[in-house]
């Protein structure tokens, strides 16, 4: 069966990338395959994960380009070279332009470490999200996978998973549990859902 090709965009350790790799190894990704890893940071450990699993990867450092347009054009060039169907933001610390996003409308997904529409938008990333959750005193948090559009964390929700906030949680402990119990569960599931829709749409056109 023809599968949708996925590119995972990373900037750091690649733990969410690893969750997708593990899901693929378990045979859970029936409609998609990991075809490329794009790192915005040279030497990011995520590229080591890609290399160890024989996944092609490229390092495209925005600092090497005079303006964002040139950077995004280089990224698009690589995506076209590998015939990428779906882009997955997995700890990718860079906001792409609306023009770029429009090239892959409803084909870019992102995982956010909270239950959108809470604790999301500009400035809510990494440990800042979990600190805000604890400061506010909410009892339930979680993760959300959503489509990417021109608004930060503003795209349509694909999947969510909730977890309890413990009384003794710190931002670090909460971050770890949200990743293990929510992000790593629903991100691969969302990849499969989006890929299935793309494949079924292609079959209907035929």
Residue 112 falls in the annotated catalytic set? yes
Catalytic residue among 112, 130, 146, 166: 112
- Torsions phi, psi of 6, nearest 5? -110, 135
Cα pseudo-dihedral 6, 7, 13, 17, rounded to 10: 0
The whole-angstrom separation of Cα 143 and Cα 145 is 7
- Greatest Cα pair distance in the chain: 55
Give the number of other CB atoms < 10 A from CB of residue 64. 11
What is the DSSP code (8-state) at residue 51? H
Whole-number Å distance between alpha carbons of 119 and 112 = 9
Dist. CA 111–CA 8, nearest whole Å:
12
Which residues does the annotation mark as catalytic? Answer: 112
């Amino acid at each position: 069966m023809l599968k949708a090709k996925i590119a995972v965009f990373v900037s750091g350790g690649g733990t969410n990338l690893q969750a997708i790799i593990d899901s693929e190894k378990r045979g859970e990704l029936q409609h998609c395959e990991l075809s490329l890893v794009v790192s915005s940071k040279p030497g990011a450990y995520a590229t080591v994960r890609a290399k160890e699993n024989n996944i092609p990867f490229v390092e495209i450092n925005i600092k090497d380009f005079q303006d964002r347009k040139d950077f995004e054009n280089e990224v698009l060039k690589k995506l076209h070279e590998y015939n990428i169907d779906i882009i997955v933001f997995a700890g990718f610390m860079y906001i792409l332009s609306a023009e770029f996003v429009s090239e892959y409308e409803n084909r870019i997904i992102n995982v956010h470490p909270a239950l959108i529409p809470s604790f999301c938008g500009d400035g809510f990333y990494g440990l800042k999200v979990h600190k805000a959750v604890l400061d506010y005193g909410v009892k339930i948090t979680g993760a959300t996978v959503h489509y990417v559009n021109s608004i930060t964390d503003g795209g349509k929700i694909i999947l969510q998973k909730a977890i309890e906030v413990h009384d003794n949680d710190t931002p670090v402990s909460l971050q770890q549990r949200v990743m293990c119990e929510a992000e790593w569960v629903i991100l691969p599931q969302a990849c499969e859902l989006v890929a299935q829709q793309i494949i079924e749409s292609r079959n209907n056109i035929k």
